[in-house]
Amino acid sequence: MGHAHTHESLDRFVPPVVRRNMWIVVGVCAVAVVLGLILLWPSGDSDRLDPLGLEGDPVRATVTSVEEVPCSFDPLLACTLIEGTVAEGERRGEAFSLEQPLGSTISGGDGILVEIQELADGTQQVVFYDFQRGTPMLLLVVLFVAAIVVLGRWRGVGALAGLAMSLIVIVVFALPALLDGSNAVAVALVTAGVIAFVALFLAHGVGLATAAALLSTFASLAVTGLLAWVFLAASNFTGFGDENVGYLDALGSQIDPRGLLLAGIVIGSLGVLDDVTVTQVSAVWELKRAAPSAGFSELYGRALRIGRDHISSTVNTLFLAYAGASLPLLLLFSEAGQSVTSVATREIVAVEIVRALVGSIGLVASVPISTALAAKVLASITVPSDEHSPTNTEPGSADPAGAPSTPPPAPTARPDRPSD
Distance from C-alpha of 45 to C-alpha of 172, rounded to nearest angstrom: 14
Q: Where are the alpha helices (DSSP H) in 255-379?
A: 257-290, 296-325, 327-335, 340-344, 347-379
Query: Would you state the pLDDT for residue 217?
Result: 94
Residues 113 and 130 sit within 8 Å (Cβ to Cβ): yes
Other beta carbons less than 10 A from residue 111's beta carbon: 15
Residues 97 and 114 sit within 8 Å (Cβ to Cβ): no
The number of angstroms, rounded, from the C-alpha of 223 to the middle of its chain's C-alpha atoms is: 19
Query: Would you state the pLDDT for residue 155?
Result: 82
User: Which residues of the chain fall below pLDDT 70?
Assistant: 1-9, 44-56, 241, 243, 246, 249-253, 336, 382-420
DSSP 173: I
Residues 175 and 260 sit within 8 Å (Cβ to Cβ): no
Query: Would you state the pLDDT for residue 251?
Result: 66
Q: Where are the alpha helices (DSSP H) in 108-133?
A: none
Per residue in 334-382, pLDDT tens? 776 777 777 777 887 788 888 888 888 988 999 999 999 999 988 877 6
Residues 213 and 371 sit within 8 Å (Cβ to Cβ): no
